[in-house]
């Protein structure tokens, strides 16, 4: 049985990583899940073993001693290597932090250690020295698209450790290309698209005939408050439409606190009667908002492949997206949605006007194409098969 360690920093992780964990375990892959506890979770699968990192200093010390003793009995050579790499009498706090985290990893004879986020190698770089297993690194968006541009420590870590990494997973071809500039070997990169939960598809039956909006156009965007989400460009485009007397309701559902700039922009553009900002909702309510919308708008400047767009496509909501990251690998213009250049408010405006111009049959045809693409390229079964093949190939090299 193949043994794979999944490190995603927090347990449980994001939806797409959780889909990977569950899918691999269901296919008889033994999963060792490492990270910091965010909340309780029971996977109800004997193939998933959870090893939590400790947060409190005293707990780390106790955990370090207990795990070290177990490792001494099981494999003294690994223990010696661990302490030679991580123990520094001048910085005991950091030493116990590392030993507390790494010793439990060494206790299990894993085949592959899979970092789910590129930036984690900056904080867990010693694993490259102490692990005997193959190391895989995933590229998922911000950590490779723009974070290295302004973080020298991250950029330097990539250039140091990418050549030592056995294989890379990218969520899109566009992301894969970005990683090469930091030393990733293009021959070691495999693109595997994320997946949508099969239960999500089953619970949200596709409506082949969805009436086109006759009066007010209901537009929704979903994502955290962050400059990369491009909400300011969306608001400028909405203002252009309002000035043309187009009846619009634009809803932004986002998490975070940095909304002063957007609130001021809404006030300045006199959009208070047209724009609503909702600071977070339970996922089922977000899904309903997307489902009820006429258009899902992704105005982002940077993405890997936005999972919320995949959800919108599966729900049958017409998608307008910017050509950021790997979105052109998902949306084919006027085949299953509309794709526009980033930072182009006039293009966003024209895309929404184009939706208004299209007849109901054309819109429903594009919606159907979008759902079919999700069912072909973004299923969990497809993703898991590709990951298992990817792991087996990595082990053979």
* Within-domain flag for 371: yes
**Residue 384's closest CA among 50, 42, 29?**
29
Same domain as 230, residue 182: no
Query: Which residue did the predictor score with more confidence, 345 or 35?
Result: 345
Residues 295, 166 within the same domain: no
Whether the per-residue pLDDT at 344 is higher than 90: the answer is yes
Instruction: Tell me if 65 is assigned to some domain.
Output: no
Q: Are residues 279 and 362 in the same domain?
A: yes
Note whether 349 and 202 are same-domain residues.
yes
In terms of phi and psi (left: phi > 0; alpha: psi -120 to 50; beta: otherwise), the region of 305 is beta
Candidate from 21-25, 137-141, 201-205 with smallest mean pLDDT: 201-205
286 lies in the same domain as 373: yes
Q: H or E element: which one contains 308?
A: helix 307-315
37 and 182 within one domain: yes
Domain total of the chain: 2
Identify the CATH number of the domain in which residue 228 sits.
3.40.50.2000
Q: How far is the C-alpha of 302 from the C-alpha of 250, rounded, in Å?
A: 21
HEC secondary structure over 31-90: EEEEEEECCCCCCCCCCEEEEEECCCHHHHHHHHHHHHHHHHHHCHHHHHHHHHHHCCCC
Residues 153 and 296 in one domain: no
Q: Are residues 140 and 189 in the same domain?
A: yes
* Same-domain status, 149 and 260: no
Q: Are residues 147 and 261 in the same domain?
A: no
The residue range of the domain holding 301 is: 198-377
Residue 143 belongs to a domain: yes
In a domain, 49, yes or no: yes
| Band (142; pLDDT cuts 50, 70, 90) | confident
Q: What's the pLDDT tens digit per position in 18-66?
A: 999 999 999 999 999 999 898 999 999 999 999 998 888 888 899 999 9
Asked whether residue 249 falls in the same domain as residue 120, the answer is no
Q: Domain for residue 66, yes or no? A: no
CA distance 204 to 372: 14
Mean pLDDT on 86-111: 91
């Amino acid at each position: 049985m193949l043994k794979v360690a999944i490190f995603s920093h927090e347990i449980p992780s994001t939806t797409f990583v959780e889909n990977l964990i569950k899918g691999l375990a269901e296919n008889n892959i033994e999963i060792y899940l490492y990270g910091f506890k965010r909340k309780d979770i029971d996977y109800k699968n004997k193939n998933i073993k959870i090893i939590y990192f400790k947060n409190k200093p005293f707990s780390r010390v106790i955990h370090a001693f207990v795990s070290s003793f177990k490792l001494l009995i099981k494999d003294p050579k690994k223990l010696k290597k661990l302490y030679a790499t991580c123990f520094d009498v001048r910085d005991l706090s950091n030493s116990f932090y590392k030993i507390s985290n790494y010793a439990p990893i060494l206790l299990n004879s894993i085949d592959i250690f899979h970092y789910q986020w590129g930036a984690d190698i900056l904080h867990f770089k010693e694993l490259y020295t102490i692990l005997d297993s193959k190391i895989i690194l995933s590229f998922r968006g911000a950590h490779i698209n723009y974070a290295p541009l302004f973080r020298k420590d991250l950029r330097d870590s990539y250039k140091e450790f990418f050549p030592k990494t056995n294989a890379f997973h990218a969520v899109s071809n566009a992301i894969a290309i970005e990683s090469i500039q930091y030393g990733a070997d293009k021959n070691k990169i495999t693109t595997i698209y994320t997946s949508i939960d099969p239960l999500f598809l089953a619970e949200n039956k596709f409506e082949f005939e969805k009436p086109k909006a006759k009066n007010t156009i209901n537009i929704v965007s979903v994502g955290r408050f962050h400059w990369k989400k491009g909400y300011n460009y969306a608001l400028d485009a909405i203002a252009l439409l309002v000035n043309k007397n187009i009846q619009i309701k634009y809803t932004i559902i986002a998490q975070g606190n940095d909304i002063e700039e957007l609130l001021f922009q809404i006030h300045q553009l006199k959009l208070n009667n047209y724009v609503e900002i909702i600071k977070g909702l339970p996922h089922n309510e977000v899904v309903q908002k997307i489902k009820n919308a006429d258009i899902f708008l992704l105005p982002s400047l940077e993405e890997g492949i936005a999972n919320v767009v995949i959800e919108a496509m599966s729900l049958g909501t017409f998608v307008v997206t910017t050509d950021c990251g790997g979105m052109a690998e998902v949306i084919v213009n006027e085949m299953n949605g509309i794709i526009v250049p980033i930072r182009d408010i006039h293009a966003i405006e024209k895309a929404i006007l184009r939706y208004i111009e299209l007849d109901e049959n054309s819109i429903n045809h594009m919606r159907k194409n979008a759902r079919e693409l999700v069912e072909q390229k973004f299923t969990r079964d497809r993703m898991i098969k590709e990951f298992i093949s990817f792991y087996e190939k990595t082990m053979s090299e």
